[in-house]
């Protein structure tokens, strides 16, 4: 659903850009609360995984394909604010490096594919989690439904933007019906990918899934007839090791999907491209500003072997996205830690004055003389 330059006029594109910039600014602030020692290293990986899976167009109808949007997946795995940033990083990489999605339409794409999908999906997900029986299956079911609804929501959002700033005179009723109809089918694929991915991560490390926090109960041991928390000193080290394993496994999966499987993706136009061709929305499409990029159209320039060209472009894209995403989320996480002011604790056995005096710059009061 990458909107190219020329679909939406300049004033509406500029307004969408301002909305997108504001949403990204809010998300940067909100992500500080979401990112911790568990999710921060994985956020960049989530962006890279979304980039890789977006290369895998799947057929949904005669002559039409679809691909993952990723808003629901990112919101559930790392949180809604971080999710907006993840998809925004992907869209920026695609627009700049691969000429996918117009540069003047970047704000439109972020508003549609990053903000709308993430917000709608997370609201639906949280609502379902509250009413469904508590457990891993509920998380998977909620992920499926949330992802399914997020895609036609994005299609409706594009239709509204086109109604305000469309550059061609096309019947909006026909555009709306066509967009929602095909994107409901694409939503089924989005839902399946999202539910399978979330379910796989939950099966290995439920504590790494933002939407499943609180799902895992602490291990209890019976001591002297009472249940107590079992917290061993080896737990943090074990968690760190499995954390690295999850990261490496996710990166390897992303590289295989983008570098190998992407060659077999459907070559049919995606939902928006098909509707644009059928309804005449694309009459005023402009050439992409980076159409001559060495990686334009997900191929490496001057490499004649299509399999190698697509695969190498995919690997470069995954690498660039994980580096860019990790840099953003590392900076956000570092800003969070520096925002926390250090607190000087009183020494053991010291009274309130001993703890408060140095903090306030006041010397401790001398002890009162004992009465003989």
Domain ranges of the chain: 10-216+243-250+286-334
Per-residue confidence band for 205, with pLDDT thresholds at 50, 70 and 90: confident
Residues 6+ apart with CB under 8 A from 177: none
Farthest CA pair distance, the chain: 102
Q: What is the mean pLDDT of residues 322-344?
A: 76
Instruction: For residue 127, give Cα distances in angstroms to 114, 131, 143.
Output: 20, 7, 11
Cβ proximity of 60 and 186 under 8 Å: yes
pLDDT at position 243 is 75
Residues 6+ apart with CB under 8 A from 81: 26, 27, 28, 29, 30, 31, 33, 34
| 236 pLDDT more than 50 | no
pLDDT at position 144 is 98
pLDDT at position 339 is 59
| 107 pLDDT more than 50 | yes
| 318 pLDDT more than 50 | yes
Count CA within 13 A, CB hemisphere, residue 78: 32
Residues 6+ apart with CB under 8 A from 319: 48
| 315 pLDDT more than 60 | yes
Candidate ranges 57-66, 184-193, 227-236; pick with highest mean pLDDT: 184-193
Name the residue among 66, 11, 12 with its Cα closest to residue 266.
66
pLDDT at position 334 is 82
| 108 pLDDT more than 80 | yes
Secondary structure of residue 222 in the 3-state scheme: strand
Cβ proximity of 333 and 85 under 8 Å: no
pTM, 2 dp: 0.85
pLDDT at position 361 is 46
Q: What is the mean pLDDT of residues 113-135?
A: 96
C-beta neighbour count of 268 within 10 angstroms: 17
Element spanning 93, H or E: helix 80-97
pLDDT at position 223 is 62
pLDDT at position 336 is 67
Cβ proximity of 329 and 78 under 8 Å: no
CATH for 10-216+243-250+286-334 (1.10.1760.20, 3.40.50.300, 1.20.58.100, 1.20.1260.10): 1.10.1760.20
C-beta neighbour count of 353 within 10 angstroms: 14
Number of H helices, E strands in the chain: 12, 4
DSSP label at 208?
G
Residue 255: what are its φ and ψ, rounded to 5°? -65, -40
Count CA within 13 A, CB hemisphere, residue 371: 0
pLDDT at position 333 is 85
**Can you tell me the distance from the alpha carbon of 15 to that of 286, in angstroms, rounded to the nearest whole number?**
19
pLDDT at position 353 is 44
Per-residue confidence band for 78, with pLDDT thresholds at 50, 70 and 90: very high
**Can you tell me the distance from the alpha carbon of 49 to that of 196, in angstroms, rounded to the nearest whole number?**
13
What does the mean pLDDT of the chain come to? 86
Secondary structure of residue 231 in the 3-state scheme: coil
Name the residue among 100, 21, 74, 40 with its Cα closest to residue 295.
100
**Can you tell me the distance from the alpha carbon of 161 to that of 321, in angstroms, rounded to the nearest whole number?**
28
**Can you tell me the distance from the alpha carbon of 187 to that of 146, in angstroms, rounded to the nearest whole number?**
10
**Can you tell me the distance from the alpha carbon of 199 to that of 341, in angstroms, rounded to the nearest whole number?**
38
pLDDT at position 45 is 95
Q: Strand (E) positions, the chain?
A: 58-61, 64-66, 220-223, 226-229
Residue with tokens 């399999």: 307
Per-residue confidence band for 221, with pLDDT thresholds at 50, 70 and 90: low
Q: What is the mean pLDDT of residues 101-128?
A: 97
Instruction: For residue 239, give Cα distances in angstroms to 45, 206, 259.
Output: 18, 12, 30
**Can you tell me the distance from the alpha carbon of 162 to that of 16, in angstroms, rounded to the nearest whole number?**
12
pLDDT at position 347 is 46
pLDDT at position 354 is 44
pLDDT greater at residue 97 or residue 367: 97
**Can you tell me the distance from the alpha carbon of 326 to that of 95, in angstroms, rounded to the nearest whole number?**
19
Percent of the chain with pLDDT over 70: 83
| 292 pLDDT more than 50 | yes
Per-residue confidence band for 229, with pLDDT thresholds at 50, 70 and 90: low
| Bridge partners, 65 (sequence order) | 59, 270
């Amino acid at each position: 659903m990458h909107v190219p330059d020329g679909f939406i006029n300049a004033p509406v594109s500029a307004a969408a850009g301002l909305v997108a910039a504001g949403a990204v600014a809010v998300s940067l602030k909100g992500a500080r609360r979401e990112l911790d020692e568990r999710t921060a290293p994985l956020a960049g990986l989530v962006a890279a995984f979304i980039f890789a899976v977006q290369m895998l167009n799947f057929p949904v109808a005669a002559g039409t394909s679809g691909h993952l949007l990723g808003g629901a997946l990112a919101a559930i795995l790392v949180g809604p604010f971080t999710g907006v940033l993840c998809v925004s990083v992907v869209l920026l990489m695609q627009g700049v490096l691969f000429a996918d999605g117009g540069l003047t339409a970047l704000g439109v794409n972020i508003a549609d594919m990053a903000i709308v999908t993430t917000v709608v999906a997370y609201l639906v997900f949280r609502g379902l989690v509250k009413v469904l029986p508590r457990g891993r299956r509920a998380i998977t079911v909620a992920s499926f439904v949330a992802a399914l609804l997020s895609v036609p929501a994005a299609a409706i959002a594009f239709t509204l933007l086109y109604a305000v700033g469309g550059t061609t005179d096309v019947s909006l009723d026909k555009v709306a019906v066509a967009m929602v109809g095909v994107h409901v089918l694409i939503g089924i694929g989005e839902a399946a990918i999202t539910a399978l991915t979330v379910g796989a991560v939950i099966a290995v490390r439920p504590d790494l899934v933002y939407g499943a926090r609180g799902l895992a109960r602490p291990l209890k041991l019976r001591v002297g007839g009472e249940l107590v928390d079992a917290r061993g000193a080896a737990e943090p080290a074990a968690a760190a090791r499995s954390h690295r394993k999850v990261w490496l496994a996710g990166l390897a999966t992303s590289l295989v999907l983008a570098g190998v499987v992407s060659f077999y993706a459907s070559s049919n136009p995606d939902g928006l491209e098909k509707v644009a061709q059928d309804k005449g929305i694309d009459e005023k499409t402009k050439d992409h500003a980076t159409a001559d990029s060495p990686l334009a159209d997900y191929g490496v320039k001057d490499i004649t072997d299509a399999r190698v060209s697509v695969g190498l472009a995919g690997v470069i894209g995954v690498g660039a996205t994980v580096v860019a995403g990790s840099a953003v989320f590392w900076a956000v996480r570092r800003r969070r830690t520096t925002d926390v002011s250090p607190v000087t604790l009183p020494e053991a056995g010291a009274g309130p004055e001993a703890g408060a005096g140095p903090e306030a710059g006041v010397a401790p009061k001398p002890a009162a003389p004992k009465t003989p």
